[in-house]
């Protein structure tokens, strides 16, 4: 009788649409704790505070050339006279400030990046000048008119004082680091990486360093997931895989849920006799959010919550596990990092080949993106079964094939989700 009730619960699952499941998860992903780290360690991290400009940039009138700082009005006579001669009164290397203002008839030799002296309103590049010595006085000769402002970068040309330059949730990369450094932010306040526990379930699993044994396989999902966690901005914690034993898995899940920000498991969510994660989420130890999604692969992708923390119980099949992570776990991690774009980037592409599998559920097909003659094409992987591992590495997108009664023909426009932080 109990067996019948269990089987009934296992099989009669209510499929949720991907978007509905994502919405159900959204409230759990809130920007979390912050930490201060040195600027040089901040690449790839997510800013937790806004960065305002404490001063304009550049902060002083900057010479854009090696040459002479002059008054442009002194060159007005160029054209009527073959050469205008100005007395060179100073030399200004980068980093020095001249205390000799430029007045009519004078110039200062100046280097690229140096502060333009008072009185000067243009810099003429070295190549356009000649030099002479008259009675011990160095003079610079100019032949052409120079307009006001030439080769001088004005104060605040790039950034005005007080401007908001970076907002929380922004991922720090080379350009952001340059901004932070320019404004003296040597300790950066970033969101702490969410700590994600990962463990696989399955009595067939060997560790990667174990020799193969009959009927057994090496655990690849754990390492694949750890890599996905890192790419999404989280910190993975690899826990030992557990056998298909409900009470063992239960105690491991409980321990991990107390210690980490979220727990991701793989395997045991389908309807088999040893699919213990499916049983676990139906028990009253956790509150199940869903245990079926209207998608392929990963239709049995499951999630539950306990004390406000999420348990993502992904399918054991590597393809389904991979997709389940990208669609559900990645957005959670991204949300805790303050990202306002938690989902994979979506593009439209032309399907390159017929897609022949027919399905009642939306398919997320591994594929490659190719740009030909300015058109984006999506090429489905030759083998994309949920159980197939080896083509995950060759995919830079997931091709979204909506439920279809027949073939989806080549040439159809399809939605694609970019993988690998793709900036194709
Ligand atoms: N009667 C039915 N059987 C199955 C159904 C169904 O609807 N009715 N769905 C199939 C689909 S689709 C999928 S997907 C899988 C889901 O299985 P589970 O999530 O329960 O995963 P397992 O049974 O534990 O393992 C499936 C497969 O994946 C391999 N695996 C597991 N863990 C790992 C790991 N860490 N690294 C590498 N490979 C792993 C495992 O050995 C199995 O081969 O159920 C179908 N069955
Ligand atoms: O749930 Mo399975 O991954 O649909 O193919
Ligand atoms: Mg199973």
Which residue pairs, CB below 8 angstroms and at least 24 apart, start in 103-109? 103/71, 104/71, 104/73, 104/74, 105/74, 107/68, 107/69, 107/70, 107/74, 107/140, 108/68, 108/69, 109/67, 109/68, 109/140
Selection from 125, 122, 109, 119 nearest residue 154 by Cα: 122
Q: What is the pLDDT of residue 164?
A: 97
Q: Residue 209: pLDDT above 90?
A: yes
Q: Check pocket membership of 203 for ligand 1, CB cut-off 6 A.
A: no
Q: What is the pLDDT of residues 139-164, one digit of tens each?
A: 999 999 999 999 999 999 999 999 99
Global pTM? 0.91
**Nearest ligand by distance to the CA of 316:** 1
Q: Check pocket membership of 265 for ligand 1, CB cut-off 6 A.
A: no
**Nearest ligand by distance to the CA of 300:** 2
What does the pLDDT average to over 254-267?
97
Fold for the domain defined by 35-57+157-191? Molybdopterin biosynthesis moea protein, domain 2 (3.90.105)
Determine the residue of 317, 362, 383 to mutate for testing ligand 2's pocket, defined as the one with the most ligand atoms within 8 A of the Cβ atom: 317
Q: What is the pLDDT of residue 4?
A: 67
Give CATH for domain 2-26+193-336.
3.40.980.10
Q: Check pocket membership of 266 for ligand 2, CB cut-off 6 A.
A: no
Helix (H/G/I), strand (E/B), else coil: 39: helix
CA–CA separation, 66 vs 58, rounded Å? 17
What does the pLDDT average to over 343-366?
95
Q: Are 338 and 332 in contact (CB under 8 A)?
A: no
Please name every residue paired with 86 in a beta bridge, in sequence order, or none if there are none: 140
Q: How far is the CA of 383 from the centre of ligand 1 (A)?
A: 17
What does the pLDDT average to over 399-403?
96
The enclosing H or E element of 3 equals helix 2-11
Question: CA–CA distance from 200 to each of 203, 325, 344 (Å)?
Answer: 10, 13, 24
Biggest distance spanned by C-alpha atoms of the chain: 115
Q: What is the pLDDT of residues 30-43, one digit of tens each?
A: 998 999 999 999 99
Q: Any idea what DSSP says for residue 382?
A: S
Q: Which residue has the tokens 């333009």?
A: 116
CB neighbour class for 399 (10 Å; exposed up to 12, middle 13-18, buried from 19): buried
Q: Check pocket membership of 62 for ligand 2, CB cut-off 6 A.
A: no
Atom of ligand 2 nearest to the CA of 317: 3
Q: What is the pLDDT of residue 424?
A: 46
Q: What is the pLDDT of residue 359?
A: 85
Q: Are 167 and 176 in contact (CB under 8 A)?
A: no
Instruction: Map 322-363 to HEC letters.
Output: HHHHHHHHHHHHHHHCCCCCCCCCEEEEEECCCECCCECCEE
Q: Are 15 and 294 in contact (CB under 8 A)?
A: yes
Q: What is the pLDDT of residue 423?
A: 44
Please name every residue paired with 384 in a beta bridge, in sequence order, or none if there are none: none
Structural tokens at position 71: 């008054």
Please name every residue paired with 340 in a beta bridge, in sequence order, or none if there are none: none
Q: Residue 420: pLDDT above 80?
A: no
Domain ranges of the chain: 2-26+193-336, 35-57+157-191, 62-153, 345-418
Atom of ligand 2 nearest to the CA of 320: 3
Determine the residue of 268, 296, 316, 392 to mutate for testing ligand 2's pocket, defined as the one with the most ligand atoms within 8 A of the Cβ atom: 296
> pLDDT band at residue 241, thresholds of 50, 70 and 90?
very high
What does the pLDDT average to over 91-113?
98
Q: What is the pLDDT of residues 308-345, one digit of tens each?
A: 999 999 999 999 999 999 999 999 999 999 998 999 99
Q: Check pocket membership of 266 for ligand 1, CB cut-off 6 A.
A: yes
What does the pLDDT average to over 352-363?
94
CA–CA separation, 61 vs 54, rounded Å? 17
Atom of ligand 2 nearest to the CA of 299: 1
Determine the residue of 21, 298, 301, 327 to mutate for testing ligand 2's pocket, defined as the one with the most ligand atoms within 8 A of the Cβ atom: 298
What does the pLDDT average to over 123-143?
97
Q: Are 218 and 205 in contact (CB under 8 A)?
A: yes
Selection from 75, 211, 61, 212 nearest residue 151 by Cα: 61
pLDDT over 90 percentage in the chain: 92
Q: Check pocket membership of 278 for ligand 2, CB cut-off 6 A.
A: no
Q: Any idea what DSSP says for residue 394?
A: G
Yes or no: is domain 345-418 CATH 2.40.340.10? yes
Q: Check pocket membership of 365 for ligand 2, CB cut-off 6 A.
A: no
Q: How far is the CA of 267 from the centre of ligand 1 (A)?
A: 6
What does the pLDDT average to over 293-304?
97
Q: How far is the CA of 384 from the centre of ligand 1 (A)?
A: 15
Q: Which architecture, in CATH terms, is 62-153?
A: Beta Complex (2.170)
Atom of ligand 2 nearest to the CA of 319: 3
pLDDT over 70 percentage in the chain: 97
**Nearest ligand by distance to the CA of 277:** 1
What does the pLDDT average to over 109-122?
98
Q: Residue 376: pLDDT above 80?
A: yes
Helix (H/G/I), strand (E/B), else coil: 135: coil
Q: Check pocket membership of 321 for ligand 2, CB cut-off 6 A.
A: no
Question: CA–CA distance from 388 to each of 212, 301, 421 (Å)?
Answer: 19, 17, 22
Question: CA–CA distance from 257 to each of 251, 263, 292, 306, 312 (Å)?
Answer: 10, 6, 22, 8, 11
Q: What is the pLDDT of residue 421?
A: 65
Structural tokens at position 44: 């790839």
CA–CA separation, 29 vs 34, rounded Å? 15
Q: What is the pLDDT of residue 81?
A: 85
Where b means 16+ CB within 10 Å and e means fewer, 5-42 reads eeeeebeebebbebeebbeebeebbebbebeeeeeeeb
Q: For the chain, what is the mean pLDDT?
A: 95
Q: How far is the CA of 202 from the centre of ligand 1 (A)?
A: 10
Q: Check pocket membership of 321 for ligand 1, CB cut-off 6 A.
A: no
Q: Residue 115: pLDDT above 60?
A: yes
């Amino acid at each position: 009788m109990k067996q019948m009730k269990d089987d009934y619960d296992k099989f009669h699952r209510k499929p949720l649409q991907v978007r509905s499941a994502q919405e159900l998860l959204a409230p759990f992903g809130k920007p979390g704790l912050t930490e201060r780290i040195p600027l040089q360690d901040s690449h790839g991290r997510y800013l937790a505070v806004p960065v305002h400009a404490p001063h304009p940039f550049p902060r002083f009138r900057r010479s854009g050339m090696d040459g002479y700082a002059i008054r442009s009005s002194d060159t007005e006579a160029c054209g009527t006279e073959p050469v205008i001669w100005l007395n060179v009164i100073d030399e200004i290397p980068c980093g020095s400030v001249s205390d000799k203002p430029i007045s009519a008839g004078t110039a200062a030799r100046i280097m690229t990046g140096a502060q333009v002296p008072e009185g000067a309103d243009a810099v003429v590049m070295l190549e356009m000048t000649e030099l002479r010595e008259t009675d011990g006085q160095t003079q610079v000769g100019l032949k052409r008119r120079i307009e006001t402002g030439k080769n001088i970068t004005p104060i605040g040309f790039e950034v005005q004082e007080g401007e908001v330059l970076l907002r929380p949730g922004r991922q720090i990369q080379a350009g952001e680091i340059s901004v932070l450094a320019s404004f003296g932010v040597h300790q950066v306040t970033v969101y702490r990486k969410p700590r994600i526990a990962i463990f696989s379930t399955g009595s067939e699993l060997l560790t990667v360093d174990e020799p193969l044994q009959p009927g057994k396989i090496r655990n690849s999902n754990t390492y694949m997931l750890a890599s996905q966690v890192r790419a999404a901005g989280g910190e993975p914690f690899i826990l030992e895989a557990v056998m298909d034993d409900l009470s063992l898995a239960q105690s491991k899940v409980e321990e991990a849920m107390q210690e980490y920000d979220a727990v991701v498991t793989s395997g045991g969510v389908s309807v088999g006799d040893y699919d213990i994660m499916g049983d676990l989420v139906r028990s009253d130890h956790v509150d199940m959010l869903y245990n079926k999604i209207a998608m392929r692969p990963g239709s049995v992708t499951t999630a539950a919550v306990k004390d406000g923390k999420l348990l993502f119980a992904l399918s054991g099949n590597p393809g389904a596990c991979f997709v389940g992570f990208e669609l559900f776990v990645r957005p959670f991690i991204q949300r805790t990092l303050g990202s306002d774009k938690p989902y994979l980037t979506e593009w439209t592409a032309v399907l390159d080949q017929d897609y022949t599998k027919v399905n009642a559920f939306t398919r997320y097909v591994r594929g490659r993106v190719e740009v030909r003659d300015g058109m984006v094409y999506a090429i489905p992987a030759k083998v994309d079964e949920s159980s197939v591992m080896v083509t995950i590495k060759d995919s830079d997108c997931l091709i979204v094939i909506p439920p279809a009664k027949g073939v989806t023909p080549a040439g159809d426009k399809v939605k694609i989700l970019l993988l690998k932080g793709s900036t194709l």
